[in-house]
Amino acid sequence: MTKCKISEAQVIDYVIGALDVPSAAEYRHHLTTCNHCIRQVNVLKHVLQLVDTAEAEITPNAIVLTDLNSKLYRRLAEEPLQNASVQSRFTDFISRLGLILQLQKPAVVGLLAVVAITITLLVVNPFDNEPTFEVDQTESANARIEQYHHQGIQRSMEDVIRNKHLRQSDEWGTVSQLNRVKDQAKGTDWATLANKHLKGVSSKL
Amino acid sequence: MISCSILNESLANNMDKMIDDEMLVTQFKSGIQKAFDELMKRYERRIFSYLLRSVRNYEDAEELTLEVFFKAYRALGSWEPKAKFSTWLYTIASNLSIDYHRSKSRHPVFTFEDEDVIEKRLVATDISSNPEKQLEDKERGEIIRAAVDELSAKQKEVFMLTRYEGLQIKEVADTLGMAEGTVKIHLHRAIKKLQTLLQPLWENNEI
Ligand SMILES: [Zn+2]
């Protein structure tokens, strides 16, 4: 048997799939006649398989990163950024609306539903006591955390309202969701609001 | 405001499928905070796994993951996309990992098991003289990871990024600020070194 002239780098590239298609095909053909390369390929595959298994052991499928979001925002609140500009709500609304229109083309019905609810909410405005939270970069860290807390409650509240409109028949669902918001909002104006809605829904049951 | 948020929810529901990273960056730059939450959701596990492999310690990896997103959040406003967003994120993670190892200025500490890991490290280097020893899977894993940690910092980075993060050679080159040829050299050396270090594990078995 003549000594194989294939370079070590080429064997590695073959094993890790870094060769282009023609080169890989050519090398596969070479493998039919070269025992030296067959052994080398098998050894490398085995090495990589061992390492893959060992590395997989330490990264469980269900990585639980507890609350990374709120940790990040807490951190951001603790170290306020200088000279940050705050977008007006109107601009924000327009850009969101623009994106929605862009995204929802295939789901015209869904979009119409969202728009209908939006208009209903704008006209009816069930949140006449809605607390407002202006972002101020000079606010203390605690105030910022409080703000995120309120935003969380607000999101939950909006969930309830939206679900209430979409699934009119499921009043039990709405009640339990409202109760959860009430818990979450304990000690804030939102709790009063949740209570008001709760009474409204409960009276229908 | 309420209606904004309802639209926003709807937006978030569609983010997974329809918006690429760079679009989310644009959204974030125009003031939509939620876009960053989505970016974080997409990458937090990958960045965490990458850092976990690098520092071999859950708490530190989690802390560094937070640091990556903190830095990203702060810098994203002025970030100009020369490479992919994910590449940029890995660059931040890689730099933090280098700083971490520099500050520790020693081998990564194994906190997954016990302190007798150091002893197992010795076994790993001495295993060829104990070929009859039957290794438990757990021990075997530790020995193999110890071998990975024997790679130079650059070799290990290149190996991890290509093998476990699915980055192309070009992307690794961008991430680490190296030429593609250099990345390939580090990768070849890494695999060759792993072969040499792990040889005692299989040399008694026919492959
Ligand atoms: Zn050959």
Does B43-203 carry CATH code 1.10.300.10? no
Q: For chain A, give every domain's residue range.
A: 8-58, 137-204
B40 touches chain A (CB under 8 A): yes
Q: Which residues on chain A are in Cβ contact (under 8 Å) with B32?
A: 92, 95-96, 99
Question: Hey, CA dihedral for B114, B115, B121, B122, is it positive or negative?
Answer: negative
* Interval between CA A41 and ligand 1 midpoint (Å): 10
User: How much is the pLDDT for B31?
Assistant: 86
Number of A:B CB contacts under 8 A? Answer: 154
The pLDDT value given to residue B48? 93
Cβ of A127 under 8 Å from any chain B Cβ?
Answer: yes
Residue showing tokens 């050894």 = A43
User: Mean pLDDT score of chain A, rounded to an integer?
Assistant: 72
Ligand 1 centroid – CA A33 distance (Å)? 8
B 108-147 residues inside an 8 A Cβ radius of A:
112, 140-142, 144-145, 147
Q: Please report the beta strands in B84-156, taking only residues with DSSP state E, as ranges in sequence order.
A: none
pLDDT of residue B90: 96
Contact B145, A55 (CB under 8 A): yes
Q: How much of chain B is in helix, strand and coil states, percent to nearest 5?
A: 75, 0, 25
Whether the pLDDT of residue B4 is over 70: the answer is: no
Lowest-confidence range among A20-29, A101-110, B30-39, B68-77? A101-110
- Angle, CA A203 vertex, CA A199 and CA A204 arms, to 5°: 125
pTM: 0.62
Q: Please report the pLDDT score of residue A61 as a whole number.
A: 62
Mean pLDDT calculated for residue range B137-141: 81
Instruction: Select, from the ranges A16-20, A58-62, A123-127, the one with the highest average predicted confidence (pLDDT).
Output: A16-20
In which band, very low, low, confident or very high, does the pLDDT at B102 lie, cut at 50, 70 and 90? confident
**What does the block give as tokens for B49?**
């796994």
Give me the pLDDT at residue A108, please.
54
Residue A96 Cα, gap to closest chain B Cα (Å): 7
Regarding predicted confidence, which is higher, B107 or A178? A178
Query: Which span out of A123-137, A167-181, B80-94 was modeled with the highest average pLDDT?
Result: B80-94
Task: Look at B43 and B128; give whichever has higher pLDDT.
Answer: B43
Contact B145 A58 (CB under 8 A): yes
- Distance from the A181 Cα atom to the nearest Cα atom in chain B, whole angstroms: 16
pLDDT at A107: 55
Is the pLDDT at A1 greater than 70, yes or no? no
pLDDT (tens digit per residue) in A146-156: 666 777 777 77
pLDDT, one tens digit per residue, over A116-134 is: 666 655 655 544 443 333 3
B115 compared with B47, residue with greater pLDDT = B47
CB contact under 8 A, B66 and A51: no
pLDDT at res. A130: 38
Q: Give the pLDDT score at B73.
A: 92
Q: What is the pLDDT of residue B34?
A: 86
The per-residue pLDDT for B106 is 54
Mean pLDDT computed over B61-77:
93
pLDDT band per the 50, 70, 90 thresholds, residue B120: very low
Ligand 1 centre from B201 Cα, in Å? 24
Percent of chain A exceeding pLDDT 70 equals 60
Region A159-184: mean pLDDT is 76
* Per-residue model confidence (pLDDT) at position A124: 54
Q: Measuring CA to CA, which residue among B1, B65, B77 is closest to residue B33?
A: B77
pLDDT at site B19: 85
Chain A nearest-CA residue for B140? A54
Is residue A63 predicted with pLDDT exceeding 90?
no
Give residue limits of the domains in chain B. 43-203
Asked whether A158 and A193 are in contact (CB, 8 A), the reply is: no
Task: Give contacts of A16 with chain B, Cβ < 8 Å.
Answer: 162-163, 187, 191
Phi, psi of A203 (to 5 degrees): -65, -25
Please check whether residue B14 is in contact with residue A106, taking contact to mean a CB–CB distance below 8 angstroms. no
- Categorize the per-residue pLDDT at A80 as very low, low, confident or very high, splitting at 50, 70 and 90: low
